[in-house]
Structure 1
Amino acid sequence: MAPYARLSGRGCCLPLRNLVSVSLRNLTLTPTSPSRPRGKTIDDDALPNTRVSPAKLFALREQKSLVHSRSSSDLRSVSENAVAETDSELSLPANGSPLKAKGKPNGTPRTPQRPGLARDKRRRSTHEWASATPQRRQERLENVIQERLADVFFSVHVNGVGEPVYISETIERTMNPTFRHVDWSGCGAGVMRLDHFTIRFWVDRTNAGRWILLLELSISLRKLQYLGRGLDQLHHPLPQNAIIFHLTDGIYTIFPSISDYVPPVTAPSARANSARLLPTSSFDALLRLAKLDDSIQDALATRNKLAADLEDLLKANGEALSDRDRVPEAEDRLKTIDYAKKTVEKQLEKARKQQAEKRQALQKRRELMRTDHDRRKEQSVELQQARPELPKMGDERSVRAKAIRNQRRRICEDVQKIWPILPVPGKSLHFTIQDIRLPDADSLDDEPSDKIAAALGQVAHIVLMLAFYLSQPLPYPVNPRSSNSTIEDPLSLLKTNASTTQTYNDEKALRTYPLFSKGVPRFRFEYGVFLLNKDIQILLENTYAVRVLDIRQTLGNLKYLLYVATAGEGELPARKAGGIRGLLRGKVDDTPDLSRTGSDDSSASLLSGTFGHNGKMEGKPKGAVDSLRRTIGSLDGSLKRG
């Protein structure tokens, strides 16, 4: 059908199935009254045939087009010269009629101008938003927009059906909604062939579910007016609540919804210019189309019948189908139960094994308890038998403990005499050992390195001997070798660089620190001195429970250790006979040896017989000296192994 035929309302029937979509433009919740055109006053313009009256036509011809008033910045000030020239050229007679202007040959009067002033007064702007802030303008614009926005949906109704045949989706917060394509799949052929329907638009401004009816129009598709192929080709202003119908061949509307509608100009058709009439569809073609339509309707009816039969069949066999659906669920449940059963069996087997192991452990404990009980019985019997001798054994133990303490006092006294530690006159906390001054750990550079090494070697020797005699193992073993003495750190290992690792091949060499500073890294020497001071601190704290205040005072702490070790009541026991002569092989001394071989007393006698009170070696045979060295070496080896 041509657009002209659709526009005039003539043509064949348009069924409802040709409706594709619906749009609503310029949504307004408070429409104006139809009796009063928008933007016009109630005057003669509202009366019919007003524009065709002679007076109105004459007034329209004389009326000039209105333009916007200029702002105050566009008004130009009138200069005083222009005012003077106007006053001089224009004069008025007594009767008030204007005279002829000077310089005009035809005597045409000049248009009188506005009397000028020295300075033109600026017009004050009366716009209500002229002095408003940008925030206030934004709020007013948002309020205007919010008043026009709403949630919209529409419904389609036909005669004979109580419920709506179609309900569109809801478009939220809009003023020009365009809905999706209408889905007519749920409607039958009787509805699809209708050309009359009722459309209702529902709106909700508050977004609270309070829907109100905005428009209700009874539409006849025969009376729709053609607008164009699409909305992009529509340039005509639309009124409030204008409804646009999207059909298969273009967009349409109803005439009352567009005021002063002017149909679009279309090119004249070639068929209209031709005087010869072209034949339309033949009767056979129309008959075939009718038969095809009947076949389609029969197919649709058959499809609906098959769907109904399938639905009835599903309802009749619903129980069997549900039983069939429950079979996989039962199988899955059975698998879950089997898995849980196997898991419980594994846990039970593990619990049984643990129970058997605990029973065996309990049996062993019972046997051990029985054995211990029998042993305790035997010990109790022995204790009962030895009870009369316990006081005597206790007295003997106390006597031996006292003798051990006295012997240690005597040995420490001999050590103090062999290695005298004397204070430096005029200097507090400064001492010498064997007439060699050894400062504290922070002032090791005050003395020559060879003297420092010799003094530290003497201190290492004393610490080793005291650890042996006091039965106190050292955490950091020392190797006294005079001025080349070393000390080991088996507990920790200092982090070294690659060059140090290459210098010391094995870990033992890395854990050995020198007590001499010549030819070794400085930090290793200082760490060795620190370890030696820690040994002295451990001897004081673990043996005599004396707290060390400053471990850097090497000779001060060592002298204090010897002072505490030699303190006690009573006289010192006499040194037993023997000494170095008892170590000589192949010779028997006339003096009886009352000390045990390898005891502390014999070692003390050996040291006292070798060194005098002044710390110098007395004249003894060379074999005795070698024997002394071997004895000291064996003592050092036993201490290292211990």
Structure 2
Amino acid sequence: MSAITERGVLRWKEWMPLVTQQQRLRSLIQVIAYNIQVKDDILSKHKVKKLSYYFTLHLSTMSAPVYTSEKLESENPKWCEVNIGQQYGAATGVVIRLWVSINGEADYEVTVWGLFFSGLMYLGPRVLNTDPSALGSNSLIFHMYGGYFTSPHCFLNPHPVTPRTLTIQMNASHTKPSYNVNSLLRLQTLQQAIKKQTTATAVLRERISSGCAINSEEDSLIKGSAALRKLLGKPVTPKVNPDKILAIKMQIEMKKFRIQMLVEEKDRKAALVQKLAVIKDMLAEKNQDRDTELMDRYFMLRKNIEKRKEFRQQLIETRTHLAQTAALLDKRKKTLMSQLSLIYPIIQSPNGNYTIREVHLPDSEDFDGKDELMISVALGFVTHLVQMMSFFLNVPTRYPMVHFGSRSKIIDHISENISDKDREFPLYARGKEKHLFDYGVYLLNKNIAQLRWCCGITTTDLRPTLLNLSALMNLTTKQNEIGSIMREWNRTRTEEKHPSLSNSLDRGLDCVTDTPSDPNGSDCHEYVEKQRVRYESAPVHDLASLMSLDITCKSYDNINGSHAIQSYNKDQPMTVPNEDLLTRE
């Protein structure tokens, strides 16, 4: 039996620089490479460069490798431990070749060393302090018993070499006498005896397991010695029945099998208990983390509650400030609206007529026989006045207006059956196109009704243009309406359940499904007359009565195909629904 110490047995931890200290291949534990550089002509042969490195150990330059390492892709690979068979462990030197494998297809030699283990330079018990930048390209470091070694030529700068000595002074507690010849002989004899005993034990175990405890040679020996035992007077041992022996062996095997099964069950239960213990520890750790998280959230919740109280107080203060600001804004808007009377004074003459800047503007249906130029001038004043009111109230009008003095215009973007080029309507008379002028005045009156509704004033008749405007400019004198003007205005602009006037007018205009938009070949005048009679007899209860003329004009426009707009009914008073009607819609 070999007396070589196994790899796992602990040896002396530190290498000693003795002249007699020798290294063998069996002392090699690990190989580490630094700063591997592959030649450019090798890399240029391959497009995709996935490099992996490994090394081989040879007993000579022409021999096959006795060991091949695994492949690593790092430029500073650190291979696993070297496992060399005992038949090569006594080698004092080897040839080591470093290889590169490109894409796992082709292998190329990077460098080759002829290595003599006893001639390596000692680096120290650890390699952590080794700086790769101090080493040259393709440097190899060998981990052996006692520390790390390398070749002197691997360093870029000269490195001090540890001198070898014949003797070393050491502490007496760290030394002990070596074996002499007699001790070595006794040790060898003991090893041989142990080996023989082990071999005999293995043979006996095999015979017992096969059930052949007595062979033919032993049987003849027993028969030959029977006469001798009789002469000596010793009783002959009766022969045991083989069937009983076989039965006993069977019982023994059954017991062994049962013991083995119980051991396996015990191991399985132990593994299960260990697994449950691990799960218990994991759950305990998770519960602890959750407790910590819940505690953090609890503190965060308390902070958020305190912040919520502060935010609530700030909200109350902000609302108070907002109410004060809204009141000031309300007052300022009323002041600006009242001051518009200084720019465009609207005065009622003794005969009951209203004038704006001393220019008389009749009601919308009383333009016949009046001075068209003065009417155009007055409508230009009204257009400018309505634009300024819309700006002060911050309310965009339903129908945009273009102020050009006595040549002002108004645009209808709402009606669907009007082409884009015919959407502008003049606010001045142009001879034969008087129906366009009447429709433009009608749209202007609707804008005035919109502003009055935003200020909380109902409009029962659209025709008295200057009278409706005068009520808007005299808001500060109406004490019964002061408290509700801006509240209604803010409510209708912020609450979704109260639609704006523009939306209400759209719905009143678009939701009249019982009024056909196309007479389908009937006479246009007859159709318009029927619509007028219908709305004269019907009560004013929704926006359909307000928009009936607009719908008939659309139908008339569809019949003629010229996008002309029919003037509204002069006999039927035009009304705007009050605030409750708009709210219900």
By the TM > 0.5 criterion, same fold? no
TM-score by length of 1: 0.27
Please say which structure displays the higher CA radius of gyration: 1
TM-score by length of 2: 0.29
